[in-house]
Amino acid sequence: MEQPPDGRRPRLISSLAQGQRSCEVSLDRELGLLTWWDAQPPRRNFSVPASEIIAVEETKIDEKQCNSGKWQKMEKPHAFTVYYVKRARNYCWRCNEETFWCIDEQLCNQWINSLKELLDLQTSRPKHLLVYINPYGGKQKGKRIYEQKVAPLFSLASISTDVIITEHANHAKDNLFEVNIEKYDGVVCVGGDGMVSEVMHGLIGRTQKDSGIDQNNPKAPLVQCNVRIGIIPAGSTDCICYATVGINDPVTSALHIIVGDTLPLDVSSVHHNNAFLKYYVSLLGYGFYGDVLKDSEKKRWMGTIRYDFSGFKTFLSHHYYEGTVSYLPAKHTLGSPRDKKYCRTGCCICRQSKQQLEEQRKKYGIGRDEGRGEWKVIKGKFLAINAANMSCACPRSPKGLSPTAHLADGSADLILVRKCSRFDFLRYLVRHTNQDDQFDFTFVEVYRVKKFQFTSKHLEDDDSDVKDVGKKHFGQFCRDHPVCCCNLTNNTWNCDGEMLNSSTIEVRVHCQLMKLFARGIEEKSTSNHSPIEQ
């Protein structure tokens, strides 16, 4: 063992073997770094940070291994296996393993104990989790995905779980109001965005209830929810997972949970007339995205293809909506929607924006800081009104609705698509799938906001009762004849993929209200190779 001069913890260095090859292995306990390199050329060198080691286990050596290679000469070969995160393509993580063989049992135990001590220092890792599985989400594979891909990894990492298979919609949400939440280091949901939304409503609602906060008050300062949520994607839409991890892959998500990653996330609340309606973390969409959802819900029997079908049908209908949007610009944020500064792991825009908000809070007092600033008002006819809390990237649109929206800066990107021709709207939609700037159109506006309101024109009109009779009839006619592009009184918002029926709403972004077991999208340079070959 190497003794450092200044009282630092000693570095463990040994000559071990990997199968037939001998290697040097070093454990720097101060840096938390496991390194190994070939004793003979080509002398490749690998490193794994302790934070990405999943487990270490003594390896049971079978007869075959004992009788093969140079180890057959040894009386008692001993080995230990290190399981660690290996980065694959497209932000995917895999569990890799490396077995190191020692001649001496004492040395083998010393290695196992030293690595375990280092793992014990990883205090952000969960030990006990509450898991909700939606057996009907996506292609109804949630239970199988959990049992085959996730549970074995949790068990390898010595994480214990209480698993609840949901029996009806809102089961997870209701259960979270009753369960002894203190017992758990996090809550995992296996399903799609709908399940994430359910668990989020349960946890945020429970936190407010326990703190005596009235969710119906749109101005109430909500209490941050400290229980992390892990998302195991198993739905038909896994946008929240995709935008926070970079990929919707159950193994990758399970590994982010195991290593105890933490990603703070902004949550927006939606109110109508001092009544709380819903929270959302990815998209709140009116017009095009609200109509696509409304139509697709009637066609659930079609499976995931329903989104394409309803998207095409809604595109042809070309309905527009008239109303007033008022918004409060997010002056505290350091970014802007078209600055090409993407939200990535350890995002400094999110960190600094949160600091700015905290300073404002100290200066003006909690509650009074948020309404400060000048409200802007825009009246018009819109094909779509979208508020993106995150990029909303998904496999169909890898850069998302607002590519530079930030996950945790206390703001949302409000995108207004004014009435335009079908051809122009198609050009706008196509830009979500290529590298061109989707905001570079005269009929598209985008603002970074911390609050906004929308009032439908029909509710603003005093004589709306008389007009509505006619509109109701024409509305039905237009719905039945999709080529008509009239002004409709629809009241459906797409709120994280769930329908919300209220055309007039008040929205407020709550900076970093909840936390996920994730780390955001990693820069390509970190995500290409691991362990690091030096």
Ligand X SMILES: Nc1ncnc2c1ncn2[C@@H]1O[C@H](COP(=O)(O)OP(=O)(O)OP(=O)(O)O)[C@@H](O)[C@H]1O
Residue ranges that bind ligand X, judged by CB under 6 A: 134-138, 166-171, 191-195, 198, 235-237, 497
Q: Report the amino acid identity of residue 212.
A: G
Cβ proximity to ligand X: between 246 and 497 the closer is 497
Q: Which is nearer to ligand X, 62 or 167 (CB)?
A: 167
DSSP secondary-structure letter at 88? -
Structural element, H or E, at residue 524: helix 524-527
What is the smallest separation between the CB atom of 179 and ligand X, expressed in angstroms? 16
Q: State the minimum distance, in angstroms, from the CB of residue 280 to ligand X.
A: 13
Name the minimum Å distance from CB 169 to ligand X.
4
Min. distance of Cβ 191 from ligand X in angstroms?
3
Known catalytic residue at 193: yes
Distances (CA, A) of 521 to 243, 245, 256, 258, 346: 7, 5, 12, 17, 9
> Can you tell me the distance from the alpha carbon of 456 to that of 435, in angstroms, rounded to the nearest whole number?
33
Contact 271, 505 (CB under 8 A): yes
Instruction: Using the minimum distance from each CB to ligand X, give the nearer residue, 138 or 218.
Output: 138
Nearest to 237 by CA among 248, 253, 250, 223: 248
Considering the complex, what minimum distance in angstroms separates the CB of residue 180 from ligand X?
A: 22
- Helix 171-178 vs helix 193-210: crossing angle, to nearest 10: 20
Of 28, 193, 409, 496, the catalytic one is 193
**Residue closer to ligand X, measured from CB, 173 or 406:** 173
Neighbours of 65 (CB within 10 A): 17
Task: Identify whether the C-beta of residue 495 lies closer than 8 Å to the C-beta of residue 318.
Answer: no
CA angle 437, 441, 443 (to 5 degrees): 140
**CB 311 → ligand X: shortest distance, Å?**
14
Which of 194/218 has CB closer to ligand X? 194
Burial class of residue 263, CB neighbours in 10 A (0-12, 13-18, 19+): buried
Nearer to ligand X, 149 or 171 (CB): 171
**Residue number with the smallest Cβ distance to ligand X:** 192
φ, ψ at 55 (rounded to 5°): -165, 160
Task: Give catalytic residues, as residue numbers.
Answer: 193
